Structure 1
């Protein structure tokens, strides 16, 4: 809001900077835009569009109003743990935490509340302004950002009040998750159709306010196509025909999907001064509250993965890489946050926040090809391209030897603290591609995709729930064993208590749409494989 007021004041002072009344007089087809529309720095739209981008993934912004702790409670203490990427080493609540399936309301409700209050509310402002000023291109880009944010919300909770949202509050009925996904596809289809003609001409839009692509419409189309492909794959076990249809639309689009590291979606440090939240969480919060997860330890050590040193730092005790399992009780900081467990290799001001890697795009196509869809190549080609791209994106050198390794397997986990939490490896999957067995091929694809997605916890957790891969270590202690077994693992987060307090009628529709109890054991609509 502070930014918006400043920009509004600047607009008044400069007079001619914002849109002129002439825009309302232009007779414009909603599938066409003038050069003036694309080039105008519109403050009414730009301020809220900027807010949307900055709240998809929460981070410290240097103002004191947005802190690393916002990220931690929104996903660091839930999705990032359940994905198998991060191990919690805080000593909060005597071990009764989300890491041990003891669901702390103030920790798991933030993804829900912040998504609506900070992204969808801003999207509503942008959408209204674009309608008033006949600016379909800006509206289409904002729709893409909104879907990127809100699919993370529905994938954590299930039903949400998406199509019914309209007043800036959350006091409305919930949609089924199937209805939400259908709306996502409708909005993505429309956005891609609107943007593609302009992308083909090299046009730009919202350049001054675009912290991801700097106004490059073609890259927004590539991202939208790849996002549509991601969501299509998400629903493959719930609605296979819809999944294939939406996926093949993305591949057949004239602009296509993300294919290079330069095309991936990330917040640009050159356009936005921000700090990566995991620096504070891993290094300054109580001397460190996040470390390498035991599952990452097992897979990356077992594969002798060159990306290991890019993701984590060696433990001071022996110079090797060690993780920690979830749900450990009586966690002594000197053992876990100290010298025995590997810390995260993250820089405060230069590590980027990434929405979608280029590697993910190739792994999505690999799975589509494995399922017999028209992805423009074979599963093996895209699988190997995904690994190579991940190595490139992480400056890990050549991937040739890694791709041809047909002997290395995930390693047994050895507890570096001596607390007795060691466990045999959960998987025996190797790296080198082998044709023939569908499930083994799928496990290879998702395992390598999971490694490449790090540290995107919401996406890694969603893929684990959707496919069962990679096979992750169960929690040591499970305080919710009556609703979900440690082997099945957590399937969702409950609706926030704030919803029961402020929107009781609405949340009742959410529970009904969920089709089960509002607890961590009830599966989401797309979680249909097993």
Structure 2
């Protein structure tokens, strides 16, 4: 029922956002849907389904310890439900299928002329490639090796993903490092082939409103993110990618890749759906995060005042003077003993929440890293984050002036704070760098409770999510090959190739 509801919501959002909702042929039995409808559906799903209460709040927002659970805390001890793992796998492939269809509609001579009414054919293909690369990166950074396909190597028979129409229903997995190398090439090629004098999509693009120049910036900015991921694994490639794309990546908050949800219960964001429509009170801020924001732990503890973002990130409850955090990883009793925990802020819970997919602030922290922990880019990153959360420039400047100078820990801890609400990326950052070092980890104590995981053999924050059970049942031989390529098999213990921390 949950999936049916979300698919329905996605289609309604598509109609809501797209000015042109006509279908080719009978609208009750359409032969071909406009490419813009597929794009809007894919964008909505990319923003919603990978950041909702199942894949986000109960998984990656918890792994990153932005949020903790109030009552049902097993997932905070890493016992994920089968449905959560399925969603983290299945939704990206649904998104990728839609985007591949957009490419096919714009490339096929029989449909390309029809699709040209919805934007330049070439630009639609290049934007779809960029979104596909972004989506595949989410899959790889969650699982490792996965079935893969790319437009630039669509004739590569080793890339068996997304080939169901060709009769490949048990696709082989592609090595994660190989995928990364191809993603970097795909993004560069798509950016180079984008015609910035022409529109990408005439309607339905709720990220960049059809602006080709912005899609080029997005592609280069994704490359910077992926370069940061492999920085400590393959410095030569990472540095080369950074040098190629830095000048063309985001240069202000105006460039942020942001998805704005609709203003009602059907088209609204995942946190409106969870907290308002669903009346859930399952989540609150993690104590490790609030302690960091109040500068009681971590590298900024010399600052006597709290981070100004704390009251933008969370609202207080029951009249408390401060945002109260929940202990993460210590079980039901410890969580239920807190009855005045904060909640996500009204800006997050409102229907038309702005979900940032990639930000200028993140680019500035990456620039600081690649330039030897540069001070100016470090400060720019903090200020950009503050600005995006509507902190006044005076408050931002005052706080930045109090920060200790840039170094690895300071830059990466501020990057973590700025990545709030992107739990998947913050989890990736922790895995590759070990920062922030303020997270609670298995073995830590809270009162009389000890943080113990519920996953046999796992004594750390998860290094990956296990493959869905359906892969073992329906694609067993390829799953088995992928499993054997992992250091500790198909477990949360196995590290991804870039995780050399």
TM-score interval w.r.t. the shorter chain? 0.7 to 0.9
1:270-321 CA distance string (max 9 Å, x none): 7998322123434565640111011211110115101111000123252211
Q: Secondary structure at 2:357's aligned position in 1? A: strand
Of 354, 364, 367, 2:366 maps to 364
| Structure-2 change in CA distance of 1:315 and 1:499 (3 Å) | same
Is 2:453 aligned against 1:479?
yes
Q: What is the rounded CA distance, in whole Å, between the counterparts of 1:150 and 1:459 in structure 2?
A: 14
| Structure-2 change in CA distance of 1:164 and 1:513 (3 Å) | farther
In structure 1, the residue matched to 2:131 is 145
CA deviation after TM superposition for structure 1 residue 102, in Å: 2.1
Is 2:255 aligned against 1:281?
no
1:35-84 CA distance string (max 9 Å, x none): xxxxxxx954222222221111225xxxxxxxx9x822223211110112
Task: Map 1:312-323 onto structure 2 (within 5 A).
Answer: 312-316=314-318, 318-323=320-325
| Structure-2 change in CA distance of 1:9 and 1:400 (3 Å) | closer
Q: What is the rounded CA distance, in whole Å, between the counterparts of 2:45 and 2:211 in structure 1?
A: 20
Is 2:384 aligned against 1:389?
yes
Q: Secondary structure at 1:12's aligned position in 2? A: coil
In structure 2, the residue matched to 1:111 is 88
| Structure-2 change in CA distance of 1:292 and 1:127 (3 Å) | same
In structure 2, the residue matched to 1:216 is 211
Task: Map 1:429-448 onto structure 2 (within 5 A).
Answer: 431-434=403-406, 441-448=407-414
Contact 1:492 1:524 in 2 (8 A): yes
CA deviation after TM superposition for structure 1 residue 13, in Å: 6.6
In structure 2, the residue matched to 1:56 is 46
Of 145, 153, 162, 1:159 maps to 145
| Structure-2 change in CA distance of 1:469 and 1:433 (3 Å) | same
Q: What is the rounded CA distance, in whole Å, between the counterparts of 2:399 and 2:56 in structure 1?
A: 31
In structure 1, the residue matched to 2:67 is 86
Q: What is the rounded CA distance, in whole Å, between the counterparts of 1:458 and 1:368 in structure 2?
A: 22
Unaligned regions of 5+ residues in structure 1, if any? 19-41, 60-67, 372-378, 406-430, 435-440
CA deviation after TM superposition for structure 1 residue 215, in Å: 0.3
In structure 1, the residue matched to 2:183 is 184
TM-score, structure 2 normalization? 0.81
Q: What is the rounded CA distance, in whole Å, between the counterparts of 1:334 and 1:222 in structure 2?
A: 45
Contact 1:75 1:111 in 2 (8 A): no
CA deviation after TM superposition for structure 1 residue 108, in Å: 2.5
Task: Map 1:64-103 onto structure 2 (within 5 A).
Answer: 71-91=52-72, 95=73, 97-103=74-80
1:451-505 CA distance string (max 9 Å, x none): 11111000110001011001111254323465232xx321111111111111112
In structure 2, the residue matched to 1:343 is 343
1:106-144 CA distance string (max 9 Å, x none): 22231111111x211112211212221463221110011
In structure 1, the residue matched to 2:260 is 268
| Structure-2 change in CA distance of 1:170 and 1:456 (3 Å) | farther
In structure 1, the residue matched to 2:445 is none
Q: What is the rounded CA distance, in whole Å, between the counterparts of 2:202 and 2:497 in structure 1?
A: 38
Q: What is the rounded CA distance, in whole Å, between the counterparts of 1:283 and 1:445 in structure 2?
A: 35
In structure 1, the residue matched to 2:496 is 524
Q: Secondary structure at 1:136's aligned position in 2? A: helix
| Structure-2 change in CA distance of 1:98 and 1:447 (3 Å) | same
Contact 2:23 2:34 in 1 (8 A): no
Contact 1:176 1:514 in 2 (8 A): no
In structure 2, the residue matched to 1:12 is 25
CA RMSD of aligned residues (A): 2.8
